[in-house]
Structure 1
């Protein structure tokens, strides 16, 4: 390699490293670095797949895809198998490689799905940091059927930088989540030690006041204060429970059952399937379940609740149903409460589906499905 070419390669790596070090959002980082990589190398098209441990891929970034691949909101790129993904999942993709032909392009040509703009081949590079793997970087250009060793070496160096950046972002997010849990625990302790104890003392004082006075009006006032203190105490205990759930270490369903007991609900549970649920999914289902049970307590006018939970290798489904008063709701209407909207938002943030069914006199059913 000439001195000029080596200097150019170092400049490219430096420029991309600076881009990777600036970002904290995975998709923004990948989109930005892919665009810059294509610009400085003169390549035209590229895309990045992030892959889960179960082999499912996600199109995390793309640039200048030909119409045959970009049609229907990149449908062809977001589903189905291809040779590079299969090679990655079979752990046979350990370095930058020439992929002789692109299966997605071949399928598009066979189905006459649109213009391919001369793209037939691409290079593919695994994204990793040490032993940890994250996905694949694919790049290509019209009528380019082969990548030289120095081109593959540069792509491999860039891919390693991307993998290291993904590892950094993952650790940063984990650190933030850990800090959030610690803050919740601290707040729960503070509320228990201060406000919770004050409300308990207020309730006892009001009860003593009822017993000490002979004046009916004063008795009623103290009794009213005692009722308010007991209600506030119940709300405070529920809040502390939400901040720091007891029993979540024994499983999410067990924790929701305990939470329902604390609210005074009679809950029937039916659990089927066996699968390891990712931490983020379990946390979201726990928060959604809390919200749903709290709604049952406040609005359903019944204490009878049914919780159905099914775990499979590719996803989880949770249904919470009551036989209470229900309300008028149709799918095309806006969701009527902040709590229900919050459940829907949490579900869709994990690419899940949120289904709400309710009619006056027929109760309310909330069904959540989250894929892995």
Structure 2
């Protein structure tokens, strides 16, 4: 008899091993192996719980459960707790346990859920692979309250086989997920590069990124969050095929805390479904945050550390292995987004350089043609005026020549100012000195002050130069004064240029269609193109103050 029992155990283990190697589908494999185990051991019912690192469990396989445990879509197996799971969580369940009376079956009897088919007890065997604990295998039979040592040893051996097969499948699924995500990342990178080439504004990047994430990946939710002025705002968000951009409301205090945690972590971080709801729940969107099992957030380390970005995706997966694969790919994806952002900046700089070159060419052409003609016209008019004025009586055309000479000189002055605006000179000595020189040529006494020292990019310096020029032109034309004040102030984050006068004021009352209002609009557009803002304060008694605040890129040591 012992020899026959030994042979039966060998047959059982061999059959289970063959069954475990027939599929890479975990659910199918577990259903098949549980059924085969019960068939070979003469038991009638079995079920298998997987328990994750957080202690959450799921009944992933069952065979021939009694009616009392399958009511309401197997609700007794999905909810509540029991002694075997509690012991597993506490670390007290390390080996096959001879008998544990089943609390779920006791509740079924107590609350009259249905027929238990005379099953009251079950054997519990922990599933493990090495030191990694995976879950529980429970088997039972009607009226059976005792399992022999040989039966427990066989169940333990089978549990080791199942655990090893589950570990193999876990690694296979994680690698399969990783390979799939990297393939999608390649397609995403190609599509993003093409989209960047067509973008004309860096503000379009968040919308483009989330749309491509929704197209190329299977994450049901994605959002780009950016910190500005110490608060986090959603720049773009994707969910179930819809995109939201530039949500004006800042994140809640708890959402900000979670964003800071991700930024300080420097690497991708896993977020629970509750944390996702905490971050985005204040925004009324047409879906429920309970749809997502978890999420992943990855920091976007832009060059300005005081204004970091965060990419967040929501996932329906509960497997930590699959989520870790998502984390790895998200970190690579963040690098793609940062590189694309830098590409957009370089493209903007190239366009700005092209505009500068075109302005320089136009300035040269104006200087060599129209400017020389106006100068010749002024000299000719002066000569004609002298000839006509020298006769007695004075020729009537002399006064006309005088007017022509005055108009030509004024036009020449305006042309030189225009050439100066098109092709700035004197910036080599610094922005403040260049504006002082320009103001002097316009007949203005410019009092300048400077606070702070740091280098700034050429395109920002030229943008401030243009704004300062226009402000000084407005003072010359409209303020009715001969002096102006300029203050240039630098901080770690921004440059602030202030031009003020004690003139007539009234800048804000000018009609939108007027020439002066066009100048104000141009100044505001220049400031906005640099990512900054322009403020104008004007009073009929105290004059006008124009302030341009431009953010500066992070200056590395």
Answer whether TM exceeds 0.5 for this pair. yes
Q: Which residue of 2 aligns with 1:370?
A: 550
Q: Deviations over 1:129-154 (max 9, x none)?
A: 9xxxx954322247858453432343
Q: Which moved more, 1:16-25 or 1:205-214?
A: 16-25
CA shift for structure 1 position 274: 3.1
Q: Which residue of 2 aligns with 1:308?
A: 487
Please, which of 140, 152, 156 is the counterpart of residue 314 of structure 2? 140
Counterparts of residues 287-326 of structure 1 (less than 5 Å): 287-326=466-505
Give the unaligned 5+ runs of structure 2.
1-171, 303-307, 553-557
The alignment status of 1:225 with 2:422, answered yes or no, reads no
Q: Which residue of 1 aligns with 2:297?
A: 124
Specify the SS of the correspondent of 2:251: helix
Instruction: Answer yes or no: is the 8 Å Cα contact 1:291–1:343 preserved in 2.
Output: yes
TM-score (norm 1): 0.78
Specify the SS of the correspondent of 1:31: helix
Instruction: Name the CA distance, whole Å, in 2 between partners of 1:314 and 1:154.
Output: 32
RMSD: 4.2
Please, which of 240, 249, 253 is the counterpart of residue 419 of structure 2? 240
Specify the SS of the correspondent of 2:446: strand
CA shift for structure 1 position 238: 0.2
The alignment status of 1:31 with 2:207, answered yes or no, reads yes
The alignment status of 1:342 with 2:518, answered yes or no, reads no
Q: Deviations over 1:72-117 (max 9, x none)?
A: 72411899955665665x6x63x6x3345699869769xx967882
Structure number with the bigger relative contact order (C-alpha 8 A, sep ≥ 6) is 1
Counterparts of residues 111-260 of structure 1 (less than 5 Å): 117-118=289-290, 122-125=295-298, 135-141=309-315, 146=320, 147-213=322-388, 214=391, 215-260=394-439
Specify the SS of the correspondent of 2:396: helix
Larger radius of gyration: 2
Instruction: Name the CA distance, whole Å, in 2 between partners of 1:47 and 1:108.
Output: 11
Q: Deviations over 1:245-285 (max 9, x none)?
A: 11123222111111101111111112223344444443332
Specify the SS of the correspondent of 1:168: helix
CA shift for structure 1 position 51: 7.7
Q: Which residue of 1 aligns with 2:77?
A: none
Instruction: Name the CA distance, whole Å, in 2 between partners of 1:318 and 1:42.
Output: 48
Q: Deviations over 1:216-250 (max 9, x none)?
A: 32222222221111111100110011011111232
Instruction: Answer yes or no: is the 8 Å Cα contact 1:49–1:136 preserved in 2.
Output: yes
Q: Which residue of 1 aligns with 2:448?
A: 269
Instruction: Answer yes or no: is the 8 Å Cα contact 1:327–1:361 preserved in 2.
Output: no
TM-score (norm 2): 0.54
Instruction: Answer yes or no: is the 8 Å Cα contact 2:187–2:216 preserved in 1.
Output: no
Specify the SS of the correspondent of 2:248: helix
Q: Deviations over 1:308-366 (max 9, x none)?
A: 232222323332222222238579x9797121222233334445443323333542222
Q: Which residue of 2 aligns with 1:43?
A: 219
Q: Which moved more, 1:22-31 or 1:226-235?
A: 22-31
Specify the SS of the correspondent of 2:289: coil
Q: Which residue of 2 aligns with 1:355?
A: 535
Instruction: Answer yes or no: is the 8 Å Cα contact 1:16–1:33 preserved in 2.
Output: no
Q: Deviations over 1:34-54 (max 9, x none)?
A: 2332454332332235689x9
Counterparts of residues 4-19 of structure 1 (less than 5 Å): 6=179, 10-11=183-184, 13-14=186-187, 17-19=190-192
Specify the SS of the correspondent of 1:76: coil
Matched residues, number? 358
Instruction: Name the CA distance, whole Å, in 1 between partners of 2:209 and 2:415.
Output: 48
Specify the SS of the correspondent of 1:264: coil
Instruction: Name the CA distance, whole Å, in 1 between partners of 2:219 and 2:448.
Output: 56
Q: Which residue of 1 aligns with 2:116?
A: none
Specify the SS of the correspondent of 1:274: coil
Instruction: Name the CA distance, whole Å, in 2 between partners of 1:340 and 1:104.
Output: 46
CA shift for structure 1 position 296: 0.8
